[in-house]
Amino acid sequence: MKVAKFGGSSLADANQFKKVGDIVKADKNRKFIVVSAPGKRHDLDYKMTDLLINLAEAYINDDKYKSYYITIMDRFSKIIEELGVPTTILTEIEELIQSIMKDDLSNETTIDSFKAVGEDSSARILSAYLQTLGIQATYKNPKDAGIILKNDPFGAQLEEDSYEKIYQLKNEEGILVIPGFFGYTKEGHLTTFSRGGSDITGAIIAAGVKADLYENFTDVDAVYSVNPSIISNSKEIEVLTYQEMRELSYAGFSVFHDEALYPAFKEKIPVCIKNTNNPSADGTMIVANRKPDTYNDNCVVGIAVDAGFKSIYVSKFLMNREIGFGRKLFEILEDEDVSFEHAPSGIDDISVIVRDEQLPVDKEQIVIDRIYNELHADTVSISRNLALVMVVGEGMKESIGMAQTATNALGDAKVNLEMINQGSSEVSMMFGIKSNGIHRAIKFLYRAFFE
């Protein structure tokens, strides 16, 4: 039994809905279908979720929201008309939006409720369309599916006891079409995952019903070994492990939401990334373990890069002997509400790498002053415009010369290394470089590991 999730590009217009209908029809094992909101139809288009966020914000701020409302309803109306499904669905969507406006909800719940309209409507439309194809399909609201969430500033998180109820979905007749991206708190308030979170819903359903496979349909044939916008024709990845995917998505591989890996990993459900526009392509499998014979010659599966970091450099003579120095440093960051990513250290110095948004420019001086005053550091400075390059592959474990190949390539690219970090799992090597060196670094690394 399979769970199939379709992303926004797979549901961008009526034609895409039809492709989804064909895919569902083609395999009887596809019992649970999870959907995103309609995505962009072309580069200059808007995602439905963005339009809904605009509508929500205008509504809350008492601004003119009618034009957003009309654009949203026009788009749904066109999809419904072209698919030939009952127009009562459009009335249901209208009523859904009206009810959010009538209810006396907190601003947060109002915004989340508007955001959820995209996925909710996709699920209603798709189940009605599948019925016109003679498939027994039912729309299932996440509340009835058992998706109970707790609020979190970074996006809702699942209440672990949800899984028992989700497991019961197996006993239901026919195909269930479930909207992704949202659920309900124990108190009954609607709440959403972070952006792109329909992947998380799909993974939760797959883990909950203990599916044989979680298929994640998107608009690419596979996960590529490097960003194809930097290296065109970059190698497609056939299979990678959860950990490799986690490391790659950390540094910018956005094809699968990184939070969606955990539920799949927990139950060891294999994930297959597939293309709605080319469903016969094999896609990329994400699995718990892969056999060494699937490692390519150089052991590296992918190279990712993410910009938008800065580093806080702190040096103090005899830092290595000062008990509690690290704790006090991290306490200052905790006090100032700064979350850190990595902290490579030397004998007398340490660099703390943070994402730019964690340390806005107006907070920099406060942090620098506190480190000087409270820790009596010799030097404290901030280096900006950092990017992290990750070279990832399970095959690198105990493989000799990997760092040498990477650093030679970066040297040939004339890219200065500000930081090098290799976790003891040896699944990835991380290099901190200036953002303006990204393209050169990736080109030379790709050449060294894949060509």
In the chain the first and final C-alpha atoms are separated, in Å, by 39
Q: Find the part of the chain contacting ligand ASP (CB under 6 A) among 70-78, 142-150, 197-205, 258-266.
A: 197-205
Residues 372 and 447 sit within 8 Å (Cβ to Cβ):
no
Contacts of 281 (CB under 8 A, 6+ apart): 221, 222, 274, 275
* Positions in 199-218 near ligand ASP (CB under 6 A): 199
Q: Find the part of the chain contacting ligand ASP (CB under 6 A) among 191-199, 328-336, 337-345, 424-432.
A: 191-199
The pair of structure tokens assigned to 167 is 């497991």
Query: Of 215 and 394, which has the nearer Cβ to ligand ASP?
Result: 215
Q: Choose which of 14, 19, 118, 263 interacts with ligand ASP (CB under 6 A).
A: 118
Residues 35 and 8 sit within 8 Å (Cβ to Cβ):
no
* Alpha-carbon torsion (436, 440, 443, 444), positive or negative: negative
**Is position 37 an interface residue for ligand ASP (rule: CB under 6 A)?**
yes
User: How far, in Å, CA of 27 to CA of 265, rounded?
Assistant: 24
Contacts of 233 (CB under 8 A, 6+ apart): none
**Is position 302 an interface residue for ligand ASP (rule: CB under 6 A)?**
no
Q: Choose which of 9, 10, 16, 49 interacts with ligand ASP (CB under 6 A).
A: 49
**Is position 316 an interface residue for ligand ASP (rule: CB under 6 A)?**
no
Query: Of 199 and 306, which has the nearer Cβ to ligand ASP?
Result: 199
Residues 217 and 275 sit within 8 Å (Cβ to Cβ):
yes
The pair of structure tokens assigned to 404 is 């040498």
- Least distance in Å: CB of 260 to ligand ASP? 9
CA distances, 314 to each of 216, 334, 336, 337, 404 (Å): 44, 16, 17, 18, 28
Query: Of 50 and 349, which has the nearer Cβ to ligand ASP?
Result: 50
Query: Of 118 and 432, which has the nearer Cβ to ligand ASP?
Result: 118
Q: How many residues bind ligand ASP (CB under 6 A)?
A: 13
Nearest CA to 51 among 79, 76, 31?
76
User: How far, in Å, CA of 374 to CA of 150, rounded?
Assistant: 37
Instruction: Indicate the helix (H) or strand (E) that contains 72.
Output: helix 66-83
Degrees (nearest 5) of the Cα angle 168, 287, 294?
160
Phi-psi region of 444 (alpha: psi -120 to 50; beta: other; left: phi over 0): alpha
Query: Of 180 and 432, which has the nearer Cβ to ligand ASP?
Result: 180
- Least distance in Å: CB of 434 to ligand ASP? 31
Q: Choose which of 21, 155, 183, 196 interacts with ligand ASP (CB under 6 A).
A: 196
Q: Find the part of the chain contacting ligand ASP (CB under 6 A) among 98-106, 129-137, 192-200, 297-305.
A: 192-200
Residues 140 and 176 sit within 8 Å (Cβ to Cβ):
yes
Q: Choose which of 9, 10, 16, 36 interacts with ligand ASP (CB under 6 A).
A: 36
**Is position 47 an interface residue for ligand ASP (rule: CB under 6 A)?**
yes
Task: Give the position of tokens 């947060």.
Answer: 108
- Least distance in Å: CB of 182 to ligand ASP? 9
Query: Of 49 and 191, which has the nearer Cβ to ligand ASP?
Result: 49
Q: Choose which of 142, 146, 179, 180 interacts with ligand ASP (CB under 6 A).
A: 180
Query: Of 249 and 428, which has the nearer Cβ to ligand ASP?
Result: 249
**Is position 249 an interface residue for ligand ASP (rule: CB under 6 A)?**
no
Phi first, then psi, for residue 366 (nearest 5°) are: -60, -45
Query: Of 12 and 166, which has the nearer Cβ to ligand ASP?
Result: 12
Binding site for ligand ASP (CB under 6 A): 8, 36-37, 47, 49, 118, 180-181, 195-199
